[in-house]
Chain A
């Protein structure tokens, strides 16, 4: 199963980004193969429509869960219709490595 985590850098030590649509990087983590992939977000500085465009990017990787700090109003119904689970984690100090460890215990 693949999980997307929004991060503000492209290393395991970078922190969880509190925004979904305009986050710096998407970390695509595969819980079975333990493969990690960092995708730079092309919609980082978009004026509008960053959320739906990011959903499209993430959904094309067959992600089943998304971990982020907050989800915008346009995204919620879109992700509900795509059956992708949203996980809201209001802890900006958490690093990507800590979140991946949480997924495993």
Chain B
């Protein structure tokens, strides 16, 4: 069975430089080797250590799970430590990533536009210079999907009592307040039919 496909990491802005070079090498004639820091590792480092976000917040911005972000982050630190200790140069490139930016809409001329440079805040429409702009959220479908995913219902197999499923709590650990039996997920096939 092939492994699950890799989730692409979201990068807000590419780095301003493409690498670092060491200087003052004591080894005479030693050829400098390079460490390839992936763009996703650069982004994780930027979010965690420059923007001072925690791993959970950073993982949402990069559209990956929290454990994945921690893995990327630890790899970034390991590579930078390797470069510092062994005097290697750092080249920032590669990685399975995509770029994304925020979108806005203008109420005056009805156009949509994005902000390619995250450092600068957009205050007016680039087309008609009107300041009546709105932050446009194209991810509405995704949030809808999330809410339906969590709108499952736990049901009691013996008396039929229903309660909304709490995310992170297995239904079998929920106890029915009416008759004290362990509950099951509604609408899913279970060993015990009811």
Q: Which residues of A contact B (CB under 8 A)?
A: 65, 67, 76-81, 83-91, 99, 102-103, 105
| Chain A neighbourhood of B112, CB < 8 A | 87-90
A102 touches B100 (CB 8 A): no
B111 touches A85 (CB 8 A): no
Report the minimal beta-carbon distance from A7 to chain B, rounded to whole angstroms.
15
The interface stretch among B66-74, B125-133, B157-165 is B125-133
Q: What total count of A-B pairs have CB within 8 Å?
A: 54
Q: Which residues of B contact A (CB under 8 A)?
A: 13-14, 98-101, 109-117, 126-129
A84 with B116, Cβ < 8 A, contacts A89-B109, A90-B110 known: yes
A80 touches B111 (CB 8 A): no
Which 4 pairs between the two chains have the least Cβ-Cβ distance?
A: A80-B99, A88-B112, A87-B113, A83-B116
B113 touches A86 (CB 8 A): yes
| Chain B neighbourhood of A86, CB < 8 A | 113-114, 116
Q: Is the interface of A mostly helix, strand, loop or mixed?
A: mixed
| Chain A neighbourhood of B14, CB < 8 A | 81, 83
Q: Is the interface of B mostly helix, strand, loop or mixed?
A: loop
| Chain B neighbourhood of A83, CB < 8 A | 13-14, 116-117
A104 (CB) vs chain B CBs: closest residue? B129
Q: A88: which of B13, B98, B113 is its contact (CB, 8 Å)?
A: B113
B99 touches A77 (CB 8 A): yes
A80 with B127, Cβ < 8 A, contacts A89-B109, A89-B111, A91-B110 known: no
Q: CA A87 – CA B105 in complex, angstroms?
A: 9
Q: CA A79 – CA B14 in complex, angstroms?
A: 12
| Chain B neighbourhood of A91, CB < 8 A | 110
Report the minimal beta-carbon distance from B156 to chain A, rounded to whole angstroms.
46
Most chain A beta-carbon neighbours within 10 Å: one of B100, B109, B114, B117: B114
A103 touches B116 (CB 8 A): no
B100 (CB) vs chain A CBs: closest residue? A80
A103 with B127, Cβ < 8 A, contacts A77-B98, A80-B101, A81-B99 known: yes
A87 with B116, Cβ < 8 A, contacts A77-B99, A81-B14, A102-B109 known: no
A90 (CB) vs chain B CBs: closest residue? B110
A84 (CB) vs chain B CBs: closest residue? B116
Q: CA A99 – CA B113 in complex, angstroms?
A: 15
A1 (CB) vs chain B CBs: closest residue? B126
Report the minimal beta-carbon distance from A105 to chain B, rounded to whole angstroms.
7
| Chain A neighbourhood of B110, CB < 8 A | 89-91
Q: 14 interchain pairs (CB within 8 A)?
A: A76-B100, A77-B100, A79-B116, A80-B99, A80-B101, A81-B14, A83-B13, A85-B113, A85-B114, A85-B115, A86-B113, A86-B114, A87-B111, A105-B129
